[in-house]
Amino acid sequence: MSAPRTARARARAELTVAIKDEARRQLTETGAHGLSLRAVARELGMVSSALYRYFPSRDELLTALIIDAYNALGAAAERAVAREIDACEQWRRGCHAVRDWARAHPHEYSLIYGSPIPGYRAPQDTIAPAGRAPAALVGALRTGWATGGLRPPPSTAHISDELREQAAVLVRLFAPEVPVPIVLRALIALTQLFGTISFELNGQFVGTVDPADEFFGHAVEEMMFFVGLR
């Protein structure tokens, strides 16, 4: 993303982010369902067809918002983890940062972790940003392993060969030298984390542990112990 040379290129870049900003603004008001291209164009003082010079379809605009949302969430998680604190505290703050971001941007969160609305998206552009937040958490695991802040891993006896191979790929990519059973438990903790946040945001906790602050904190601590952080 180098500096745009010509005036036209600069205008294009600025309008592209202006469109996304306005779309994001409407997203927070009406949700993905009510996001209207025409309304976005109207608010920007242009006509709807002009918008197609920047995004080939509504779904492409949504995909751009999805990528931005992944990156924003990932950045929030990385910011929370990148401190001079022990692995436990890194994991804890990372989890809470994810929840805080989700509560601050519920519609963007459900854009990325809710129902896949736009047809079925082309994953290639989204998978790298999608990995940032989980990778940040796993980073805490790596520092835990490097500093001796992890309990010894559970047995690998009950892990099937296929799962062991899948996990080995993950280990190679994100957490070299961390044992497979621990990475698998971290993956379980991650699904628990996002499951809880989704439940909270979708109102699935109403009538039970709502508000969910206490439960969330408790779950983080329990799962932290589960993965071996102490």
Considering beta carbons, is residue 53 or 230 the nearer one to DNA? 53
Q: Which stretch binds DNA (CB under 7 A): 36-44, 70-78, 138-146, 206-214?
A: 36-44
**Counts of helices then strands in the chain (DSSP H, E):** 11, 0
Residue with tokens 């290129």: 9
Other beta carbons less than 10 A from residue 92's beta carbon:
20
Single out the residue of 1, 2, 3, 7 in contact with DNA (rule: CB under 7 A): 7
- 166 touches which of DNA, a second copy, none (CB within 5 to 8 A by kind)? a second copy
Considering beta carbons, is residue 9 or 206 the nearer one to DNA? 9
Q: How far is the CB of 99 from a second copy (least distance, A)?
A: 12
# of chain residues touching DNA (CB under 7 A): 26
Q: How far is the CB of 35 from DNA (least distance, A)?
A: 6
| 25 is a contact residue toward DNA (CB under 7 A) | no
Q: How far is the CB of 217 from a second copy (least distance, A)?
A: 8
What tokens does 3 get?
């500096």
User: Contact residues for DNA (CB under 7 A)?
Assistant: 5-9, 11-12, 15, 35-39, 45-50, 52-54, 56-59
